[in-house]
Amino acid sequence: MTVLVVSGCANKVSHETTGSIARPAGLEAQPAPARAPASTVAQMSSGELRTAVDAYGQRYETDPKNKQIGLGYSAALQMAGRNEQSLAVMQQVAISHPKDRDVLSAYGKALAAAGDLPKALETIRRAQTPDYPDWRLYSAEGAILDQLGRPDEARALFQKALVLKPNEATVLSNLGLSYLLADDLPQAEHYLTAALRQPDGDARIRQNLALAIGLQGRFEEAEKVAAGTLSPDEAKANVAFLREMLSQTNTWSKLKQEGQEG
């Protein structure tokens, strides 16, 4: 999927492709990894994230068939931008847990992050069961369809997910990003605002909302939203980037190109 970017390539916009692993295992700087909300990982510094990856890597090396360690390690690797390694980990976990929904969902996410969208879609659909559907898989499938340029199908799946899990932040966020990528900024703002209001609304949702607001020219408001998770200097840098981009022609295509190159 094409991504958008703020402040050069620092903060990218991308779908949460699996609700089940939208809460990756975050780590504190301690010997044994522990489960933590996605917001913990999203707000880690690069040094803290490296510590998390290293800690999970040590645990994974000693117990590669452990489902929870594998899922956490793969999620942390994705957060660190190591998508090929994340996929390799999930391939091994899927061999040990071939029918596990959480594993298949995370495997689909890893495939999507590595750029194999058709196989990602096939994997997610294989994990879904019509008689007992999983909202996380609907959301994951929708995110992949959006990346394949099929937004109407994607949004229909996001709405199905919301029927099963009303007001779920990751699904609302995916809907917002779907409209953001289609340059429907008011709708993007609507859904991202709703996502941020939920108890599990995290830093990434806040930054994407700031982007949607800033792209509408409301820079002071965008800076205030971004300042909730960024330092004052970072928030100002993001807004300065948006101002510069919006002062040029073909702003939307330039933003998408920046995201592709980042």
| Helix %, strand %, coil % of the chain (to 5) | 65, 0, 30
* pTM for this entry: 0.76
Q: What is the mean pLDDT of residues 85-96?
A: 96
The residue ranking higher by pLDDT, 42 or 154, is 154
Residue at token pair 């599990």: 200
Q: What is the mean pLDDT of residues 60-88?
A: 93
- Give residue 260's pLDDT band: very low, low, confident or very high (50, 70, 90): very low
Whether residue 218 is predicted with pLDDT greater than 80 in this model: the reply is yes
- Give residue 241's pLDDT band: very low, low, confident or very high (50, 70, 90): confident
The residue ranking higher by pLDDT, 66 or 4, is 66
Rounded to an integer, what distance in angstroms lies between the CA atom of residue 72 and that of residue 34? Answer: 9
Which helix (H) or strand (E) is 258 found in, with range?
helix 251-261
Rounded to an integer, what distance in angstroms lies between the CA atom of residue 243 and that of residue 261? Answer: 20
The residue ranking higher by pLDDT, 30 or 202, is 202
Tell me: the pLDDT tens digits for 12-42? 556 664 433 333 333 333 333 444 334 455 5
| Predicted local confidence at residue 22, as pLDDT | 33
Please give the single-letter amino acid code of residue 148.
L
- Give residue 250's pLDDT band: very low, low, confident or very high (50, 70, 90): low
Q: What is the mean pLDDT of residues 108-114?
A: 92
Whether residue 58 is predicted with pLDDT greater than 50 in this model: the reply is yes
- Give residue 48's pLDDT band: very low, low, confident or very high (50, 70, 90): confident
